[in-house]
Amino acid sequence: MKKSKLLVLGLIAALALTGCGSKTKEEPKTTPDTGVTSTGIPNGTYTGEGEGKGGKIKVELTLEDGEIKKIDVLENSETPGFADAMQTITDAMIATNSFDVDSVSGATLTSTGFKTAVENAFKQTGASKDQLVVKEAAGTSNKEEREAAYTSDVVIVGAGGAGLTAAIEAANNGASVILIEKMPMEGGNTLISGGEYAAPGNWLQKEEGIEDSKDQFYEDVLKGGDYENDPKLVRTLADHALESAEWLRDEVNVTFEDYMLFFGGHSVKRSLVPKDASGVELISKLTQKAKEVGVITHLNTTAKELVVENDKVVAVKADFDGKEITYNANNGVVLATGGFGSNLEMRIKYNPEMNEKILSTNSVGSTGDGITMAEKVGAELVDMGYIQTYPTCDPELGTLLYVGDVRMEGRSILVNKEGKRFVEELERRDVISKAVVEQTGGVSYMFWDDASMKASGVNVQHKKEYDYLIENGILVKADTIEEAAAFFDIDAKELKKTIEKYNEYAKNGKDEEFNKRGTLTAFTDAPYYIMKSKPAIHHTMGGIKINTDANVVDTDGNVIKGLFAAGEVTGDIHGTNRLGSDAIADITVFGRIAGRNAAKAAK
């Protein structure tokens, strides 16, 4: 640290009027030309750190004449949708010249981490928060005005992947569209997913010479769901999956990577990967497209109830900032509110095993609201007990770990504390999850080598997550297998034997123990990696019964007029178990159908 800065700080501490800030780990920083103002707060820029949902958040706070002028985020690993919460809080802090602003609902961890970082930066001044110039709160984002009622041809509830897709297609079919979303940003579970898309017969499969067909995909989806799925819905999904992927690519400008992933339970490698292997690419492009085609989006607006008149759903009642707003729909309402993985009560009601002990990968918005609203107007609910856990999640937070995608490249094995494999690594998620739960400590350890790391590139593509995992002792990188095993107290001798055996299988091209599909690659190159993980709730297969036109069906099998649904809010498409990367195909195919048909529905 420069001496001049120390001098300035000494002066600040001496002049601070009240409650000197507590010590922090941060190195105090001020700009060279600063001085202490009449408020007793020195002008300058200060850095501070906090802990968000994805790890460290580092900010730079600029103060001038006792006022917050600027807050820049220097470092963060928050998912972009959640990162928007930091902007919302920044706006509120600047508008009110105070650090005491509300957290953004649904992004509590990010909000807390960000606020802590800002307050830690402020502590560097040695001044007290009371010394900030008092300002009236004006123009903060929550002051948005709303009418008591709106009318459009189509009202869409939920701005995740399915809702945005439906909104675009409804607008493309001539409808005026209002999309309401309860969170402060678009995205839902789609945003925090890897965004992979199962597309049979796709352009990359052709380049790689992989034979695939709609029929083969149809069969895989049915088999993956233990044939509990509605075959007609699966047929629609299989028949339109590729054309809807092309629609995303060509009409919505989604960029796909030039490689595919092999998801568990599929018979061939067929899953497209959006840019950076992240749902962010999908949501940002869908949001942009929705704006371009004239969709009006109302954020922070929670749908509460469907209004039925003369046997037709004609409106949605919603809450905005404590005020009831009615959204009238001339033609139709589309429910696209996602699943109920974050609603503990509902989870336990339909599947008591999915209790509070099980972590969840889900967005906090996945509370089954659409299912509850639809049920109240007579909709049939199907498969509600089928709740999927994702096998390899953060053992502390439940977050889905994308570094673990090395598995879907066929380049890792799963072992237990005893150093032994216990399941086929490309099995269905439910099968792997069940097997993991039965192992010592209910966890698995994923093992791979340097060549696999390089081939998959997961440490580069998901660098922030990789750093977080290493820093938090969830992933270890070591020069020898023994060293890696010792880190997690895994039986190293057995692990070495397991790897030798696996390398032999790779040489012979056949996994004698678990018959692992795809190409087998031997582990020979140090350094070696081991990642600890456990299953967490990921997808709720059950939901509202729809037909192939995305009409909601009632308990007597009749269509409920004016009501459509698409995405995770619906049931019967995936049966007992959804295969990886089928959800994005599902929300796109059925989102488009719902949007189109709602636009065309009789007034």
- The nearer residue to ligand ADP, 179 or 436, going by C-beta atoms, is 179
Q: Of the candidates 90, 110, 111, 189, which one interacts with ligand ADP according to CB under 6 A? A: 189
465 belongs to the binding site for ligand ADP (CB under 6 A) = no
Nearest residue to ligand ADP, using CB?
160
Q: Which is nearer to ligand ADP, 393 or 569 (CB)?
A: 569
Is residue 429 flagged as an active site residue?
A: yes
Site string for ligand ADP, 359-398 (x = CB under 6 A): ----x-xx--x-----------------------------
Member of 260, 329, 354, 587 binding ligand ADP (CB under 6 A): 587
Q: Which is nearer to ligand ADP, 282 or 436 (CB)?
A: 282
Which lies closer to ligand ADP via its Cβ, residue 47 or residue 278? 278
By CB under 6 A, name the one of 85, 104, 156, 157 that touches ligand ADP: 157
Helix/strand/coil for 150: strand
Q: State the CB neighbour count (10 A cutoff) for residue 484.
A: 24
The amino acid present at 396, given as its one-letter code, is E
* Structure tokens given for 541: 């297969």
- Which of these ranges, 136-144, 147-155, 463-471, 564-572, lies near ligand ADP under the rule CB under 6 A? 564-572
Cα–Cα dist 76/128, whole Å? 26
Structural tokens at position 45: 């820029």
Of 429, 517, 592, 596, catalytic: 429
Does residue 595 belong to the site contacting ligand ADP (CB under 6 A)? Answer: no
Radius of gyration of the chain (CA): 26
Peptide bond just before 274 cis, omega within 30 deg: no
Q: Do 539 and 188 touch, CB atoms closer than 8 A?
A: no
**Residues between 48 and 107 that touch ligand ADP (CB under 6 A):** none
Q: Is residue 237 a contact point for ligand ADP (CB under 6 A)?
A: no
Among 45, 110, 190, 439, contact with ligand ADP (rule: CB under 6 A): 190
Min separation Cβ 258 and ligand ADP, Å: 25
**Position 589 contacts ligand ADP (CB under 6 A):** no
Among 33-41, 262-270, 528-536, 567-575, the segment contacting ligand ADP (CB under 6 A): 567-575
Contact pattern from residue 432 through residue 461 relative to ligand ADP, giving x for each residue in contact according to CB under 6 A and a dash for the rest: ------------------------------
Paired residues of 61 in beta bridges: 46, 71
d(Cα 87, Cα 560) in Å, to the nearest integer? 41
Number of H helices, E strands in the chain: 18, 21
Binding flag, residue 567, ligand ADP (CB under 6 A): yes
CA distance linking residue 83 with residue 207, whole number of Å: 37
Closest contact distance (angstroms) between CB of 47 and ligand ADP is 33
Residue of 73, 167, 183, 277 interacting with ligand ADP (CB under 6 A): 183
Q: Find the shortest distance in angstroms from Cβ 371 to ligand ADP.
A: 10
Tell me how far, at minimum, the Cβ of 377 lies from ligand ADP, in Å: 14
Q: Is residue 161 a contact residue for ligand ADP (CB under 6 A)?
A: yes
Do residues 130 and 18 touch, judged by C-beta distance below 8 A?
yes
Please report whether residue 302 would count as binding ligand ADP according to CB under 6 A: yes
Please state, in angstroms and rounded to a whole number, the distance separating the CA atoms of residues 110 and 95.
20
In the chain, the largest separation of any two C-alpha atoms, in whole Å, equals 80
Q: Can you tell me which of 449, 568, 572, 582 binds ligand ADP, judged by CB under 6 A?
A: 568
Identify the residue among 160, 195, 265, 404 touching ligand ADP (CB under 6 A): 160
Beta carbon of residue 526, minimum distance to ligand ADP (angstroms, whole number):
40
Task: Check the CA dihedral 541-547-552-556 and report its sign.
Answer: negative
Tokens read off for 435: 């097997």
Class of residue 3 by CB neighbours under 10 A (exposed 0-12, middle 13-18, buried 19+): exposed
**Residue among 369 and 409 whose Cβ is closer to ligand ADP:** 369
* Token couple for 351: 């599947």
> Is the distance from CB of 426 to CB of 407 less than 8 angstroms?
yes
Distance between CA atoms of residues 558 and 581, nearest Å: 31
Taking the complex as a whole, the smallest distance from the CB of residue 520 to ligand ADP amounts, in Å, to 33
Rounded Cα distance between 512 and 502, Å, is: 9
Task: Indicate the residue type of 598.
Answer: A
Helix (H) or strand (E) holding 529: strand 528-540
Closer residue to ligand ADP in complex, CB, 267/328: 328
Q: In sequence order, which residues have a C-beta less than 8 Å from that of residue 203 and are 6 or more positions away?
A: none
Tell me if 264 contacts ligand ADP by CB under 6 A: no
Q: Which among 14-22, 53-61, 180-188, 347-355 is the span making contact with ligand ADP, rule CB under 6 A?
A: 180-188
Q: How far is the CB of 374 from ligand ADP (least distance, A)?
A: 11
**Which string of DSSP letters, residue by residue, matches 476-505?**
EEESSHHHHHHHTT--HHHHHHHHHHHHHH
Residue environment code for 51-69, b if the CB has 16+ CB neighbours within 10 A, otherwise e: ebbbbbbbbbbbbeebbbe
Which C-beta is closer to ligand ADP: that of 287 or that of 416? Answer: 287
Q: Given the complex with ligand ADP, which of 59 and 587 has the nearer CB atom? A: 587
Shortest separation between residue 367's beta carbon and ligand ADP, angstroms? 6
The least CB distance from residue 587 to ligand ADP, in Å, is 5
How far apart are the C-alpha atoms of 523 and 449, rounded to whole Å?
6
Of 63-71, 86-94, 153-161, 455-463, which part binds ligand ADP (CB under 6 A)? 153-161
Q: Closer to ligand ADP at the Cβ: 158 or 595? A: 158
Closest CA to 332 of 584, 566, 573, 587: 566
**Which long-range CB contacts under 8 A does 1-8 form with residues at least 24 apart?**
1/27, 1/28, 4/32, 5/29, 5/30, 8/34, 8/42
Q: Which residue has the tokens 């899953």?
A: 271
- By beta-carbon proximity to ligand ADP, the closer residue of 63 and 183 is 183
The binding track of 327-366 with respect to ligand ADP, each residue x by CB under 6 A or -, is ---------xxx------------------------x-xx
**CB neighbourhood size of 120 (10 A):** 22
Residues in contact with ligand ADP, total (CB under 6 A)? 28
> Nearer Cβ to ligand ADP, position 160 or 575?
160
Degrees, nearest 5: CA angle 419-427-53:
75
Q: Show which residues are catalytic.
A: 429
Chain residues binding ligand ADP by CB under 6 A are 157-163, 180-183, 187-190, 302-303, 336-338, 363, 365-366, 369, 567-569, 587
